Structure 1
Amino acid sequence: MDDLSIECDLLVVGGGMAGMSAAAWAAERGAVVIVVEKAAATGGSAVLSGGVLWTASSAEKMRRYGAGDPALGQVVFDTYPDAVAWLRRCGVGMSLRMDVLHGQGYQIDIHGWIQHCQSLVEQHGGSVILETETLELIRDGTGAVTGARTRHEDGDVTVHAKATVLATGGFQASSELRARYIHPNARDMLLRSNPVSDGAGLRLGAEAGGEVAGTNRGFYGHLVSEPNRWDDERLFVALSQYHSEHALLLNEAGERFCDETLGDHTNTYETLVQSGSRALCVWDARVHEAYATVPVVSIGVPLDKMQTAIENGGKGVVAETVEAIGEFAQRQGFDGPAVQAAIETFNRTLREGWETLSPPRTEDWRPIDKAPFYALVVHPAITFTFGGLTIDAGGHVLTPQGARVPGLFAAGADAGGAYGHGYAGGLALAMTFGITAARSAGWA
């Protein structure tokens, strides 16, 4: 029997925040859209998040804290107001403005938004097809992408489309790709994300002539305490040690290895590349009260991070002296005397010669000297990747020679380069480039 063949204006591969936003934007402007999603439900990693749509509060902060391709970061910053205005026009639930890391944002009804996007697609004659794998993109004689061959348990379907957007969510679920494109230690990194974003978009794009440069090793993640189980998505936030940016991070040799104040998401990469791919996170009573028991955003649930970590298998200690912290570190395979000396040297340097501190700190020069002291062994966990297909500011997928692959666009984590060693909002990245890809494909 011949494979089924269907036609549409826009094919979107992936039903997360980026893909559904691209699909809904185009559908609202008259396109017939087919969304193909490998998972059993739409939403991807977005519906596992707290639903906070935020980004850098200025173009300068985007360049500093996003730390990726300036032109792509500018797209996120410039398109963010359009995204917020669209959400409001669609009646999506939204909080008042809130401070988030190095920017500003709103908590949105993320589940409601994904459902609204699907409704828009269906109202305009399109479909969202679940549990369907995209096997390959198809091209015409000129090399233009004209759709894809897909596989569902009911049979194979060829989708013909005027334009195709890849938005499969990155490659964080592939241990092989993590090791290749991020760091060898990343092969065994914990996954705090959906389990289906395994690099399919990168493979499809590369097979169609797009470039995966593989030079962007950045990713978004957090340092987590050691879990005795990792099958409950609620633990992704509960065990994340966001307050590491106010603490000290020491490697197995008992040495500081990064500017902790750049953010827990940046500390996660720095920890990944250390010996043993772990660190000792050390803080004091001041940090504990101000940061380790307070949610990172106002809509979060207050948790005592040390207590929660220990209850779920973490290795940590609360002690009255720095010497006791060193003894604990020794038992965990760290150089205990070096840990004690590092804490004491850090405190003395901040009082007597902060300008000589190495590595330096960009923020928070207060010493860690108020008992009790806290120490927790932490490990990197990944949410989504920053490297992907090379794109231009319009979301067009580019060849290694810098030419556009006709008919092919990428959005969200499939589009590499907007962020580098930093971070300025995952939902914002996904939604703004979803909008941008749909605009560039013809639905401005």
Structure 2
Amino acid sequence: MTKPRTPTIVVAGAGLSGLCAAVSAREAGARVVLLEKGSRQDVGGNAAFSGGLFLFCYDGPDDLTSVTEDFEPGLKADRIEAPPYTRQAYAAELMAMSGGRAEPRLVDELAERSLDTVRWLAAKGVRFTFNRTLGAAVRDGVLHIPPGQVLTCVGEGMSRGFEVIRPLLAYAERIGVEIRWSAPLMEVEVERGGGRVTGAVVGDGGETVPADAVVIAAGGFQGSRELRREYLGPQWETARLRGTRLATGDGIQAALRAGADKAGAWTSCHSAAVDPTQPSPQRSEASPPFPLHGFWLGVLVNRDGERFVDEGPGPWVRNYSKMGKAIMRQPGCEAYEIFDQRTAAKVADEFAGAAVPIVAHTVPELAERIGVPADRLAHTLKTFNNACPAGDGATEDGTREERGTAALTPPKSRWASPLDRPPFVAYHAVAGLTFTFGGLRIDPDGRALGADGTPVPGLYAAGEAVGGLFYGDYPGGAALMRAAVFGRAAGHTAATETEPASRPA
């Protein structure tokens, strides 16, 4: 007589997607072994270094307050107005920002499952709040929430993301997930002849952990100089990391050797503008180089003193992840964000972190201090100022959205106000590499797919190890949402569709 054996699911990577997969599989009744390449101080992957942003669908205020009733100071109001952000709008935005290349099934499932997954995270102890820098504002006693408002975790600055990880880790340990630290995944073992997954090879010693299924959630390859050079280009080999140094593509490579197929934009990445003096992150509770998100309030110039990008194509949270790539294409792979007194205080308070500004009272003085040709910088700013709308459309803080330049290349599509109120302020900016876009092909339930489009038996993937959703750019908050949605899906699928072997009673 035999009795069913509880399936063993191995999850590689203790970031957001890995923790969601582990918790979901454990809640579905599986024994779960969670492997983390780093020590306990490295828990959280890229999510730990993020701003804790989540983009999800909602029908109105009731959906938002079902997730949180926490408000940052000054945002509490008598009433909330929140136009719907529908599944169709979410999918359309992500498809548009991918240039139509994102996998439609993954896009649809991300949108469909987003609200329920945020509620699931909140039930595990993750606390969310409304954030004014992302568009929420109180007017006449009413809190106005723009469509697509991104909620953030309760916390400070760019360390908010760790406040997603902290409660999830505690919950995982409480429900019996077995976590092995300093245990990198080396190989995924499969039956001879390309059968199903049978285990995971761990560490330099080659220990094998028998498993009925393996979930790859070990991140992308931004931590590998060799893979950056091969796929992103030689200029990225020495790029400053904003994300975890431990995501070196090991999980992706192991899955490819086990029969999974590639997907997505292997030559693209998330890369924000950052202060070059700030160190790359180490421990997961440390803040990463603060992204210089104020670009939309001023102009970006290269070392030749010339503009090279539209600084205001839309809300900053929808565009910051491509500014680093634009900078990387400039001479010396560097640039300067320039502001005047209309917006300098707002930038310093909300969008510059610990970066030290360069201040000058005249344009020639500014050019000398940042090391660009004075005549070119003067011409650039004069041309830009002349292209900005004139008259009473100007606002004191320069943040009126509909203001775009006229007959200027490249344009500044929104928030265009002249830079003519000294002293001028500049921030030195370089590209900060957060994560790569290329990864493994999956279906909406997290199954890893082979080149023929069929699932690799017993192999699953989630998070930044997955390709097919993000290409040139993506809306802010969709990355953590992707990690949680597909991590949760992969863990549940692995636990519920696995048929473990039997053993004598």
What TM-score, normalized by structure 2, do the two folds share? 0.74
With over 3 angstroms needed to count, the CA separation of the structure-2 counterparts of 1:121 and 1:264, relative to structure 1, is same
Deviates more, 1:354-363 or 1:187-196: 354-363
Partner amino acid for 1:368? L
Aligned position for 1:295: 350
Q: Which has the higher strand share?
A: 1
SS at match of 2:129: coil
1:317 — aligned with what?
358
Partner of 1:187: 237
Counterpart of 1:79 (choices 83, 104, 113) is: 113
Q: Deviations over 1:280-333 (max 9, x none)?
A: 22111122123x12335xxxxxxx65xx323xxxxx52112223223334xx3x
Specify whether residues 74 and 103 from structure 1 end up closer, same or farther in structure 2 by C-alpha distance, changes over 3 A only: farther
C-alpha contact (below 8 Å) 2:302/2:334 kept by paired residues: yes
Q: Structure 2: where are the runs of 5+ without partners?
A: 58-84, 136-147, 155-162, 314-318, 391-403, 498-505
61, 71, 87: which one aligns with 2:93: 61
The residue number in structure 2 matching 1:227 is 277
Letter in 2 for 1:115: L
* Distance (Å, rounded) in 2 between the aligned partners of 1:206 and 1:95: 36
**Partner of residue 130, structure 2:** 97
Query: Structure 2: which amino acid aligns with 1:116?
Result: A
**What is the aligned partner in structure 2 of residue 437 from structure 1?**
490
| Match of residue 340 from structure 1 | 378
1:230 deviation in Å?
Answer: 4.6
Alpha-carbon deviation of 1:237? 5.0
Q: Are 1:49 and 2:34 an aligned pair?
A: no
Alpha-carbon separation, structure 2, partners of 1:144 and 1:105: 43
Q: 1:193-204 to 2 correspondence within 5 Å?
A: 193-204=243-254
- Written as runs of structure 1 = structure 2, the 5 A alignment for 1:143-182 is 143-152=194-203, 155-182=205-232
2:322 maps to which of 241, 266, 278 = 266
The aligned amino acid for 1:79 is R
Q: Which amino acid aligns with 2:377?
A: V
Q: Distance in 1 between matches of 2:185 and 2:18?
A: 14
Q: Distance in 2 between matches of 1:235 and 1:120?
A: 25
- What is the Cα deviation at residue 193 of structure 1? 2.2
Query: Aligned ranges for residues 367-406 of structure 1 at < 5 Å?
Result: 367-406=418-457
Distance in 2 (alpha carbons) for counterparts of 1:166 and 1:392: 14
| Contact 1:210–1:397 (CA under 8 A) maintained in structure 2 | yes
Please give the alpha-carbon distance, in whole angstroms, between the structure 1 residues aligned to 2:264 and 2:102.
14
Structure 1: distance between partners of 2:182 and 2:7:
19
Change (3 A) 1:151 1:427: same
Moved more, 182-191 or 318-327: 318-327
Quick check: 2:126–2:168 contact (8 Å CA) kept in 1? no
Query: Identity of aligned pairs, percent?
Result: 27
For the 8 Å contact 1:7–1:161, the answer to whether it is kept is no
Please say if residues 222 and 240 of structure 1, whose CA atoms lie closer than 8 Å, have aligned partners that are also in contact: yes
2:296 to 245, 268, 277: 245
Q: TM-score, normalised by structure 1?
A: 0.84
Tell me what 1:281 maps to: 337
Partners of 2:174 and 2:96 in 1: how far apart?
A: 36
Distance 1:26 1:149, change over 3 A: closer
SS at match of 2:327: helix
CA deviations 1:44-89 (Å, max 9, x no partner) are 2222334343457441333344666152333322222121221233
Partners of 2:185 and 2:203 within 8 A in 1: no
Quote the offset at 1:152 in angstroms.
Answer: 4.5
What is the SS of the residue equivalent to 2:350? coil
Amino acid at match of 2:220: G
The answer on whether the counterparts of 1:149 and 1:156 sit within 8 Å (CA) in structure 2 is no
Q: Is the 8 A contact 1:69 1:418 kept in 2?
A: yes
1:26 aligns with 2:25: yes
Tell me which residue corresponds to 1:107. 153
Report what 1:3 is aligned to: none
Question: 1:157 and 1:267 mapped to 2: Cα distance?
Answer: 43
Inter-CA distance 397–422: structure 2 relative to 1 (3 Å threshold): same
Describe the superposition over 1:318-359 as per-residue Cα deviations: whole angstroms up to 9, x where unpaired.
112223223334xx3x34422221111111112379342222
Cα 1:180–1:336 shift into 2, 3 Å: farther
Task: Kindly indicate whether residue 189 of structure 2 is the aligned counterpart of residue 138 of structure 1.
Answer: yes
Q: CA deviation at 1:238?
A: 6.1
Determine if contact 1:212/1:388 at 8 Å carries over to the other structure.
yes
Which digits, 9 at most, give the CA deviation of each residue in 1:377-421, with x for residues without a partner? Answer: 211111222221222333222333433322222111000122222
Aligned-residue offset at 1:221: 3.4
| Distance in structure 2 (CA, Å) of the matches to 1:81 and 1:229 | 35
Q: 2:172 aligned to 111, 118, 137, which one?
A: 118
For 1:121 and 1:438, the matched residues in 2 are separated by: 15
Asked if the contact 1:18–1:167 (Cα under 8 Å) also holds between the matched residues in 2, the reply is: yes
> What residue identity is the alignment partner of 2:339?
W
Bigger mean CA offset, 421-430 vs 194-203: 421-430
In structure 2, C-alpha distance between the alignment counterparts of 1:435 and 1:351, rounded to whole Å: 48
- Give the stretch that moved more between structures: 356-365 or 163-172: 356-365
Per the alignment, do residues 393 and 117 of structure 1 end up closer, same or farther by CA in structure 2, a change over 3 Å counting? same
- Find the aligned partners of 1:439 and 1:235 in 2 and give their Cα distance: 31
AA partner of residue 242 (structure 1): H
Q: Following the alignment from structure 1 to structure 2, what is the Cα–Cα distance between the partners of residues 407 and 321? A: 64
Which consecutive unaligned segments of at least 5 residues does structure 1 have? 1-5, 297-303, 311-315
| Distance in 2 between residues matched to 1:189 and 1:93, nearest whole Å | 32
Aligned twin of 1:411: 462
